[in-house]
């Protein structure tokens, strides 16, 4: 009897540790184990990640003159080439519709155009969205799908002081200028998210004015708010996500990685990582309960070459190292997404002279049922 009692005490303690540290979120506590893998060793530039309804990853990227869509069925990665007539693209952005069919916004240097590709369940279709675009940077472009599966873009063409918004209304492409940057400023960093009413929310920086700006469409007109007006530095590199109440959450770089969110009545700001180079790039997502998760990198210093992941924990930020790349390599152009269990997944480009496409996810121990069987025996 005493032995059985001790076993039960041990079982309860172990179960608590596993639940709090591995399986579910409680007050910001996360699963503790990251699993990383190489998806494509040939390049894997400019990846974009989306999770399907079965919590399986899909990634768009470019390599060797090809635009590629890859996906995993739980055990194997599959690859298909969508376009192969261009040498390189600075941009791909992926979203899945309600049937898990992939849609990709991208820039084609061959066509010098912003393009749209969609899969209808049997065949890929491509079309030009905006022509005469010689080049576009990966951070100057964002893409999303509304609930009807219609695509939306925000972009800044290289050399232009205009931030443009384009969407398909089901019949035609609708084009408009969202914002003109101050004094001919160039190269703003952009983020786009669509709310439950399919209204766009955009974050961007105005490099000349040193402003971080949040814009949203209320159904009638665009509304603008300046979130950061810095006299000494230029906030940049923003990423935006919306919670279940359509409230915006934004990560950005301003002499370190920072986070801003709106609670329905006011904005709140916090420093995530105050190291000078933190937030060189970032990607934000929110859980079902509205908790932020941020993947990011350092642009220099001792953490250069590390892919990092931040989540709030007890009034501060818990920072995990997702991957440490070999000397001379750095994570580039990555995207964070949450699955249906609120577990994080990241698609990223390991950039160097030999570049690879990589994928990371939080992974729970597969032998948890074995613990139960042993302890309950």
Residue 123 within a domain: no
Q: Which residue has the higher pLDDT, 148 or 19?
A: 148
Residue 109 within a domain: no
The CATH number of residue 192's host domain is 2.120.10.70
Residue 27 gets which letter from DSSP?
A: T
Nearest to 267 by CA among 295, 228, 293: 228
Segments forming the whole domain that contains residue 159? 2-42+129-376
Packing angle, helices 368-376 and 2-18, rounded to 10: 160
Residue 167 within a domain: yes
Structurally, the chain folds into a number of domains equal to 1
Nearest to 202 by CA among 229, 168, 178: 178
Give residue 353's pLDDT.
61
Residue 53 within a domain: no
The whole-angstrom separation of Cα 143 and Cα 355 is 24
DSSP string, 306-323: EEEEEEEETTEEEEEEEE
Identify the band that residue 7 occupies on the pLDDT scale cut at 50, 70 and 90: very low
Q: Is the pTM of this model over 0.75?
A: yes
Tens of pLDDT, residues 41-74: 987 888 999 999 999 999 999 887 789 999 999 9
CB neighbours of 172 closer than 8 A, spacing ≥ 6? Answer: none
- Of 101-110, 228-237, 255-264, which one has max mean pLDDT? 255-264
Helix, strand counts (H, E) of the chain:
2, 28
Residue 36 within a domain: yes
- For the chain, the C-alpha Rg in angstroms (whole number) is 21
């Amino acid at each position: 009897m005493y032995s059985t009692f001790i076993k039960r005490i041990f079982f309860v303690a172990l179960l608590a540790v596993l639940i709090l540290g591995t399986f579910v979120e409680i007050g910001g506590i996360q699963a503790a184990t990251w699993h990383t893998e190489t998806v494509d060793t040939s390049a894997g530039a400019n990846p974009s990640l989306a999770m399907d309804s079965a919590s399986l990853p899909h990634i768009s990227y470019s390599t060797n003159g090809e635009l590629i869509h890859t996906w995993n069925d739980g055990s194997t990665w599959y690859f298909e080439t969508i376009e192969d007539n261009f040498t390189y693209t600075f941009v791909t952005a992926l979203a899945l519709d309600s049937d898990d069919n992939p849609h990709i916004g991208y820039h084609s240097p061959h066509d010098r155009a912003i393009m749209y590709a969609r899969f209808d369940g049997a065949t890929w279709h491509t079309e030009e969205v905006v022509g005469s675009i010689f080049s576009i940077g990966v951070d100057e472009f964002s893409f999303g799908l509304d609930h009807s599966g219609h695509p939306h873009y925000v972009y800044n063409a290289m050399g232009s002081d205009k931030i443009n918004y384009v969407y398909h209304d089901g019949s035609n492409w609708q084009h408009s200028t969202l914002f003109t940057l101050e004094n001919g400023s160039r190269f703003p960093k952009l983020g786009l998210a669509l709310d439950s009413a399919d209204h766009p929310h955009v974050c961007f920086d105005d490099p000349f004015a040193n402003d971080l700006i949040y814009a949203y469409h209320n159904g009638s007109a665009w509304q603008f708010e300046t979130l950061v007006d810095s006299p000494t530095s230029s906030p940049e590199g923003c990423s935006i996500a919306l919670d279940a109440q359509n409230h915006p959450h934004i990560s950005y770089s301003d002499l370190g990685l920072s986070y801003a969110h709106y609670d329905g009545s006011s904005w709140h700001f916090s420093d995530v990582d105050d190291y000078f180079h933190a937030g060189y790039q970032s990607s934000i997502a929110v859980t079902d309960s509205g908790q932020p998760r941020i993947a990011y990198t350092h642009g220099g210093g001792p953490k250069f070459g590390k892919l990092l992941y931040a989540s709030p924990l007890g009034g501060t930020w818990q920072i995990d190292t997702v991957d440490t790349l070999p000397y001379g390599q750095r994570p580039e152009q990555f995207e964070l997404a949450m699955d249906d269990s609120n577990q994080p997944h990241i698609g990223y480009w390991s950039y160097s002279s030999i570049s690879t496409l990589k994928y990371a996810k939080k992974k729970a121990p597969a032998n948890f049922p074995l613990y139960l069987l042993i302890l309950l025996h």
